[in-house]
Amino acid sequence: MESHKRFDARHLMKMLGEHLARGSQWSPNMYKSTGSPDEVLGYHRDRVVGWILSLNAEFRFSPETLGLAISLIDHFLNLVKVRPKYLPCVSICCLYIAAKTLEEDEVIPSTKDIVKTIKCACSVAEVLRMEAIILNKLSWNVKHPTAIDLLHIIHGLLMSYYPKLLDGLSHLTPSQHLSMMMRKIFHCLGNHQLSVFSPINLVLSIVSLELEQITPNWFSIVSMVQQVAEINSESFIESRDMIGQHLSQQKLLPSGYRFRVVKRSKSIKRKAVDDDEEDLYDGIKRLYNEDSMETSAVRKSCSSEIVQHQDTDDRSSFLVPAVSAS
């Protein structure tokens, strides 16, 4: 059992390294809040992302498909100047491309059914034409790492090396915990102001905000993955601060975990945490052929600058009206 856990953890760390390497060409998306009527602004983007969220649920596509669709929308808008009236067609095509990439064939609707379901004035011909334009602009490179992919890997690593991490929580399974964090990620992906942060930065920020509520050793855990991803302290603190504020506004922080009373020796508990922590640390060093990784400077900087966030009642809407693409 122990060797099986180690094998899974090594496989996950290898996957993490591969995903980070594939995502190394990521560039931030900068959306304006004001501009000319012919350019897509931040609120245009957020409305269609909200629309895609509801369509993804209607078609019963996976969260991975939704994550890829949002990533394709941002990537395409980063390459091409699109008029707002064409944005719904671009968005549904990105969702369709993501579904064709990740979903089973029997789940994928026909183009005719897609057009019928979306209820906006995109014809079948227009969807097919826009799909070809998007694929050509992206050089048919549509399968790239998303925040959802990275969350699966990092959460898997946490559960592999810290199998008792959730033991103190009442009625919360690993899959439920993953689902809670996934919900937060989609809330963040629906906010254009947070699209300046890379997928790994987004994921690590959310994971750290969650772990802070569960364990006092949250930063020592997160810092190991932070170093592998080569995210500096300043970038991590900035993303964590903005994401924490956004989630607080959505009333998603604090998460309201219910803790059960567990009687155990503090010395034994501490030793177990330290041993697991060192295990993960050594595993990452072996994977990347590193003899040492310095954590003290990063640990001191982050622990001194991270702030607490308060809840507000502000909530954003993800509704979008039918818009003609012609």
Alpha-carbon span 176 to 316, nearest angstrom: 24
Cβ atoms of 203 and 147 closer than 8 Å: yes
DSSP 322: -
Give domain limits for the chain.
29-137, 147-305
Express each pLDDT in 53-76 by its tens digit: 999 999 999 999 999 999 999 999
CATH topology of domain 29-137: Cyclin A; domain 1 (1.10.472)
Express each pLDDT in 230-257 by its tens digit: 888 888 999 999 999 999 998 888 776 7
Residue 120 has pLDDT above 80, yes or no: no
Residue 315 has pLDDT above 90, yes or no: no
For CA atoms 100, 102, 104, 107, the dihedral sign is negative
Q: How many CB atoms lie within 10 A of CB 34?
A: 8
Reported as a pLDDT band with limits 50, 70 and 90, residue 213 is confident
pLDDT recorded at residue 149: 95
Average pLDDT, stretch 111-139?
90
Q: How many CB atoms lie within 10 A of CB 317?
A: 9
Q: Encode burial over 43-64: b for 16+ CB neighbours within 10 A, e otherwise.
A: ebbbbbbbbbbebbeebebbbb
Q: With 0-12 CB in 10 A as exposed, 13-18 as middle and 19+ as buried, what is 82?
A: buried
List the beta bridge partners of residue 259: 169
Q: How many CB atoms lie within 10 A of CB 275?
A: 9
Q: Name the more confident of 233 and 136.
A: 136
Q: How many CB atoms lie within 10 A of CB 224?
A: 20
Cα–Cα nearest to 246, from 200, 198, 209: 209
Mean pLDDT, the chain, whole residue set:
79
Alpha-carbon span 144 to 45, nearest angstrom: 20
